[in-house]
Structure 1
């Protein structure tokens, strides 16, 4: 049987001891984000995810969504769970109080999102997409659109989607064919088909708000001619209630490998009434507000599923008895020792743990900078924080989901044949996690974004937001004997990253194809160095507090040592691969494949 317990102790460590999240309470708008309030939110979120969402995970996967004549029904129990979710105020956690939100930091909502993704990823897709729609409207919508739609998105009675992909265009959105004809009243007539639309149709909310990319008749070709439109399922009445049905219908739902309780829809827009969001032909700028937030959230999906898979693997490894310890019997009262005594099982469990705790810490660093970019009083500090978030977004999305999928597979491997069957729930994590490496831009696209957009941006300014704090930490701690086993390997890996960055920049100027051939390896190298920095800081705290909570901090140190000794050395192989270039990728004739 699958197990899940919200990792609140480690979340508190990350927020309070590693990130000093209480500093955010000094920023205007976050004054109420005290440690006591944050801990209370985490505790309540743990109860909801453990007791309401997690019990529906397997049944939702087995039942799936049902489509009939344009209507989608979510699995049994989802409507009741969503009502409880809304009543608890969870959709409004980090939304603007001006529209009914609670105004808590993103750093806190990230932890809650992880719990939701661990407990029931399919369920989490519905409010997750809504928050992306909220963010785009809050930033680019007119006052009238905000007043009409934001309160409903914030309280969760209405939900949202992002409608980008069409049958012939995914990554290359400049090929978008959906049409937007201007009408006399200032609205637009939207016609076209979108595919792979998460939460495009369902029975959880009274209305669904679609944010749709489309092209006006006189728009420039390509990406510069794309605009963003708000298209509600039901046109609101003057009193704010859902009114007449708009010209948008679900044509089908996809039958997928995983996240089966999340409705992935084909959406047909047939003369649907929509309103412009942001400026004409500037739709991608507004859509990127949703996409960047979605990419961070998808990274957290990988973390959440890797974390819950680790818990299931540990529980099984402590109970399953097979063979005896190679160093001598550990449980003489049993016919065999639990498999957790075996070195290879421990290798797998420690890999899962190192990934989960490392990603949790790195994600919190990015989330805190996101909060600072929104709320800090100093414009220069806001710019620095935004630079950092821009740089790290593709890394969080790709690294966390790669590691999450690897961890889910490891968890299934720990259980052996029992992991391959449904009873223990481990195979579902593998199926659910696989999509995270694909949607919101495949991980290969994230790597290209990192090297093609983020590295050269503003003459390398983004890179300084990461390189400078890491360099400062290394210089301040390299001579500390207590930290030598952590900081010295970080320093070596950091040098590799610096050298790879310089080589990549040089190659990119002369041969973009050559640079692109190493992008995925570069992103992984960058991510491992970032995680090593987090593990060094975690070890620093743990060493100082070892006497306060021996079991917790000793486990933190043991995991930091494992990451540093067994995972960080991958940077050496990645560096060699990077420096080998891309000739071997491009040399083979196309017809030879």
Structure 2
């Protein structure tokens, strides 16, 4: 059985020691009356109880039961209902929502830590509140006041849930060729017709209503992605009192049978003249939807980290308990725990070093979003925008690697269902694919985030890191300064290449930046250690993991630098038939 205990000590260390966000919160008029350290810790502790007690012990059962479609209705694993009710009653479905509409108004840095715990407990379950939170962000930013007042309170409370409906069978990443249409009706609404696939939480029995955010094209729409509009399409239309009444013309064609996240209902939805309402301006729907997409991409990072954390905890426990083989320097007449074997220690330390850097990175990105929101800080907004594809791609790539490595620690037991490792591998695999595949994230990073401004935001960030590390040296400084300078040169060299070559190099560039920034995360961890606040074991563990990362993991970036400077013309010169 796969167990889970929320890493509250490390979460609190990142929030209050590494990034000292409690001090920032107290400087913000919108936050100082809402949250301080004790409040934040209480919220995290209560969320941890739901994850540890109501979700994690039953994730295997959820995987076995899955979501089921019968006579047009989708049911989810039975225990999801109690867990979802607890989540809703505790306010976690509206944790970072606007207080004007019933949300708790908590900072993103706090909600991202709750996201991680939910993903550790059960990624499939986390998608139901996760998609709703993303829909709320889109509505809050782009809907009119009447729409917000009507829908947001119910979404924040968890009474209703939300989806985003983009993909069609022939239109995945190329949304400009979608065929779903929206025809104006006499009452000011629209009639939505078309079919969408891969709709997470598209139909289920957790909530009384489901609010679909649907991309479609008006009759006069320009060609391509510039002709896409966004519409709100409820499962049940609302009566004069704002309550669900008549069923809208939205139906489930089928649910997907997937490799993992079986508790999540992934639906084909058919819209047959369904009533919808325009959100934002006509033909500006893609920009509106990307508000939600970017939110979800940060949640993907939480999925990678959450699965990796649970995998690490179970692999570590197994390595301490499993007796196998004899290790040098111990009693040759009895078997030792496999944790004593150097290769097992190598695997576990690889996971630990990546996971803890990832948690610091996730907290950092979330705090940048908070500063962009509360301070209207352009620098923070630009950096959060720069780091979003890294959060999605780098963290999910490393998350899958961590789960596979943890599975390896179990040996043959990791391959059978009993121990839960194979489920973590299956569940986390999707995080590299949906919300824009990691290859698309890399293209976005290399072309739209770096090349578009000639590396301005990235190079400024690297320069500031170099200055900080130089003026406040610690055990990480020497190695980190070297790779930061190398990365600055690498970025400059990339900008001199043509667009096709930049696209070819995009994944390697994103990984190179990710490994260097994780090195910076370990630098920040070491700065935050305090002999008066932290135990000797906590400090030693952090220092050991930092040493391992800087000397045994971060050097991978040197190979990436070599790859980025090497001739890759073969990929472009081969004809299609030669592949």
TM category (shorter chain) comes to: over 0.9
Query: Which residue pairs with 1:466 in the alignment?
Result: 461
CA distance in structure 1 between the partners assigned to 2:40 and 2:532 by the alignment: 24
Residue 264 to residue 316, structure 1, CA distance change in 2 (3 Å): same
Provide Cα deviations, 1:188-222, integer angstroms capped at 9, x if missing partner: 10000000000000000000000000000110000
Structure 2 SS opposite 1:287: helix
Contact 1:546 1:553 in 2 (8 A): no
The secondary structure found in structure 2 opposite 1:26 is coil
- 2:346 counterpart residue number: 347
* Contact 1:188–1:273 under 8 Å retained in 2: yes
- Contact 2:454–2:495 (8 Å) recurs in 1: no
> Number of matched residues?
577
Distance in 2, Cα, partners of 1:53 & 1:530: 32
Aligned position for 2:203: 201
Is the 1:517–1:581 Cα contact (8 Å) retained in structure 2?
no
Query: Which of residues 438, 442, 445 is equivalent to 1:447?
Result: 442
Question: What is the alpha-carbon distance in structure 1 between the residues aligned to residue 445 and residue 532 of structure 2?
Answer: 38
SS across alignment from 2:218: coil
How do 1:5-404 and structure 2 match up within 5 A? Answer: 5-22=5-22, 23-31=24-32, 32-326=34-328, 328-329=329-330, 335-376=334-375, 379=376, 382-404=377-399
CA distance in 2, matches of 1:19, 1:406: 27
- Alpha-carbon RMSD across the aligned residues, in angstroms, is 1.3
The secondary structure found in structure 1 opposite 2:222 is coil
1:525 maps onto 2:512 in alignment: yes
Question: Alpha-carbon deviation of 1:541?
Answer: 2.1
1:437-516 alignment to 2 at 5 Å?
437-464=432-459, 466-477=461-472, 480=473, 483=474, 485-507=475-497, 511-516=498-503
Distance in 2 (CA, whole Å) between partners of 1:45 and 1:323 is 40
1:489 CA displacement: 1.0
Cα shift at 1:495: 1.6
Deviations 1:372-402 (A, max 9, x none): 11111xx4xx111100110000001000000
Q: Does structure 2 conserve the Cα–Cα contact (< 8 Å) formed by 1:419 and 1:427?
A: yes
Distance in 2, Cα, partners of 1:471 & 1:357? 22
Q: 2:18–2:527: 8 Å Cα contact kept in structure 1? A: no
TM-score by length of structure 2 reads: 0.98
- CA distance in 1 between counterparts of 2:8 and 2:275 reads 45
In structure 2, the partner of 1:592 is 578
Q: Does the 8 A contact of 2:203 with 2:265 survive in 1?
A: yes
Q: Deviations over 1:101-138 (max 9, x none)?
A: 11110000010110000001111000000001100000
C-alpha distance 133-465 of structure 1, shift in aligned 2 (>3 A): farther
* SS state at 1:447 partner: helix
- Find the aligned partners of 2:183 and 2:5 in 1 and give their Cα distance: 51
- Work out whether 1:558 is the aligned partner of 2:541: no
Tell whether the 8 Å contact from 1:158 to 1:206 is kept in structure 2 after alignment.
yes
What is the alpha-carbon distance in structure 2 between the residues aligned to residue 465 and residue 138 of structure 1? 31
| CA–CA separation in structure 2 for the residues paired with 1:513 and 1:590 | 16
Q: What is the Cα deviation at residue 248 of structure 1? A: 0.5
Partner of 2:415: 420
Structure 2 CA distance, aligned partners of 1:279 and 1:21?
Answer: 36
Aligned partners of 1:395 and 1:81: how far apart in 2?
Answer: 31
Alpha-carbon separation, structure 1, partners of 2:84 and 2:25: 30
Give distance in 1, aligned partners of 2:502 and 2:61. 46
- Do structure 1's residue 583 and structure 2's residue 544 form an aligned pair? no
- Per-residue deviation, residues 380-432 of structure 1 (Å, max 9, x unmatched): xx111100110000001000000000000001000000000111111100000
Structure 1: segments with no counterpart, 5+ residues: none
TM-score, L = length of structure 1? 0.96
Q: Secondary structure at the match of 1:455?
A: helix
| 1:388–1:465 CA contact under 8 A, matched in 2 | no
Q: Post-superposition shift, 1:460?
A: 3.6
* Aligned residue number for residue 539 of structure 1: 526
Q: Distance in 1 between matches of 2:532 and 2:565?
A: 41
Task: Give the distance between the partners of 2:534 and 2:170, measured in 1 at CA.
Answer: 59
**Secondary structure, in 3 states, of the residue corresponding to 1:195?**
strand
CA distance in 2, matches of 1:37, 1:233: 36
Output the CA distance in 1 between the equivalents of 2:253 and 2:479: 54
CA distance in 2, matches of 1:153, 1:17: 33
TM-superposed CA distance for 1:438, in Å, is 0.3
Q: Following TM superposition, by how much is the alpha carbon of 1:464 offset from its aligned partner in structure 2, in angstroms? A: 4.4
Per-residue CA distance 1:486-523 (angstroms, 9 max, x = gap): 1111111112211111111110xxx2111111110000
